[in-house]
Amino acid sequence: MRPTKTDFTATKTRFNLPENVIYLDGNSLGALPKGVAERVQRVVNDQWGTSLIRGWNDHGWIHTPSTIGDRIGQLIGAAPGTVLCTDNTSINVFKVLGAALKLRPDRKVILSDTGNFPTDLYMAQGLNQLLDAGHELKLVAPEEVEAALDDTIAVMMVTEVDYRTGRRHDMKHLTKAAHDAGALAIWDLAHSAGAFPVKLDACDADFAIGCGYKYLNGGPGAPAFVYANKKHHETMRTPLAGWWGHAAPFDFDLNYRPASGIDQMRVGTAPILAMAAMDAALDLWDDVDLEDIRTRSVDLCELFIAEVEARCPELELASPRDANVRGSQVSFRSQNGYAVMQALIAAGVIGDFRAPDIIRFGFTPLYISLEDVVRAAEILEDTLKFRKWDKPEYSVRAAVT
């Protein structure tokens, strides 16, 4: 392990983790930070219960999308006033894609890749159908995105880290390539924010979106975030014109006028209890250096790959071997992947399964240690060696895999 300034033994004590569980699924749902339950309870009792409607002003509820958005902005290299914490990632995809297409009215193609998360593609398909103006979603293999950028492309919309394999795109390079082709670049940071340093402004990304419940630990269904580069603030128009994104919501004007700046990306009333959980979860990052997160994350992933490959020769690495092009997760292919993962979970190692054959393990140094990594590899070895996965109940698919 390379040394870090951040004390990762200390960060682990700031989570409520169940006993006898090695949690390698923080890329799907982050663990529960201490202090979140208390914060939510305080907002319920001391704010909602006491201030009632006055809370919107007295406790600044009305401003939470911006105040929490700015805190997230610090983790993704975005200047104050360019990020909002709002809605969910899917809705945010719709907003930024609609806005981006309007900024490139003479072009009709949205370029994405086959490694993108389906909801991003579905939102594009739905938007195209709604616009009914000849827009098209073009999908290419992840390695072919750059070559597919030509003067038909209005928007390149990609997810930085592939949710299945962990393969990572080069944000700076691809954004420049998109701009050179006259296109705009939208980045989905679902598996980036909180996983490693992201530099949206420095990469000159046009728009970005991402989740609050993965590496940011905001809780199940936590509000997501949306970023718009300052250079678009005056000209962009969201397709979801809501009263919270109006220039003066409490004028109750019959006609929509967009708020200035990122505030236009608000839609309706913020979920204040969920926002309280998100805000409390973000307190952790005050004492954490993201460069350290990356250093330790790479070390944990490299160790896991080495341990698993030494112990489980039947598994095929599905993630890039080169850490430079990998996010903070490691995936392996396994024919009996679903059952293997159920057996692992029963043995206390929680990862997840992604069809058709991927077993996926997320690593966050905030609460995963070197010992956890070795222990998880031992349990995986044991599960395979003694065919512990080979039980009928482990093949019954649950609604969520």
Q: How far is the CB of 52 from ligand PLP (least distance, A)?
A: 30
- Asked if residue 188 binds ligand PLP (CB under 6 A), the reply is yes
Cα dihedral: 201, 203, 209, 212 (round 10): -70
Question: Distance between CA 139 and CA 112 in Å, rounded?
Answer: 5
Using CB under 6 A as the binding rule, the residues of this chain from 266 to 285 that contact ligand PLP are: none
Tokens representing 303? 């160790």
Number of helices (H), then strands (E), in the chain: 13, 15
**Is 118 part of any known ligand binding site?**
yes
Question: Distance between CA 363 and CA 27 in Å, rounded?
Answer: 8
- Asked if residue 90 binds ligand PLP (CB under 6 A), the reply is yes
CA 283 to chain centre: 18
Q: How far is the CB of 28 from ligand PLP (least distance, A)?
A: 7
**Is 243 part of any known ligand binding site?**
yes
**Is 390 part of any known ligand binding site?**
no
Binding piece for ligand PLP, criterion CB under 6 A, among 15-23, 117-125, 229-237, 248-256: 117-125
Cβ closest to ligand PLP, residue 209 vs residue 308: 209
Amino acid at 16: N
Binding piece for ligand PLP, criterion CB under 6 A, among 43-51, 116-124, 164-172, 261-269: 116-124
Per-residue CA distances from 306 to 29, 302, 378 (Å):
25, 6, 12
Question: Distance between CA 314 and CA 308 in Å, rounded?
Answer: 10
Using CB under 6 A as the binding rule, the residues of this chain from 27 to 46 that contact ligand PLP are: none
**Is 117 part of any known ligand binding site?**
yes
Q: What residues contact residue 261 under an 8 Å CB cut-off, 6+ apart? A: 81, 82, 233
- Asked if residue 120 binds ligand PLP (CB under 6 A), the reply is yes
Active site residue 256: no
Question: Distance between CA 135 and CA 26 in Å, rounded?
Answer: 36
Q: What residues contact residue 367 under an 8 Å CB cut-off, 6+ apart? A: 11, 12, 15, 17, 23, 26, 31
**Is 235 part of any known ligand binding site?**
no
| Binding-residue total with ligand PLP (CB under 6 A) | 13
**Is 9 part of any known ligand binding site?**
no
Active site residue 214: yes
Contact letters for ligand PLP, residues 140-159 (x by CB under 6 A) = -------------------x
Contact letters for ligand PLP, residues 232-261 (x by CB under 6 A) = ------------------------------
Q: Which residue has the tokens 């993108």?
A: 116
Binding site for pyridoxal 5'-phosphate: residue ranges?
89-90, 117-120, 159, 188, 191, 213, 243, 269
Binding site for ligand PLP (CB under 6 A): 88-90, 117, 119-120, 159, 163, 188, 190-191, 211, 224
Catalytic residue numbers read: 117, 188, 213-214, 360
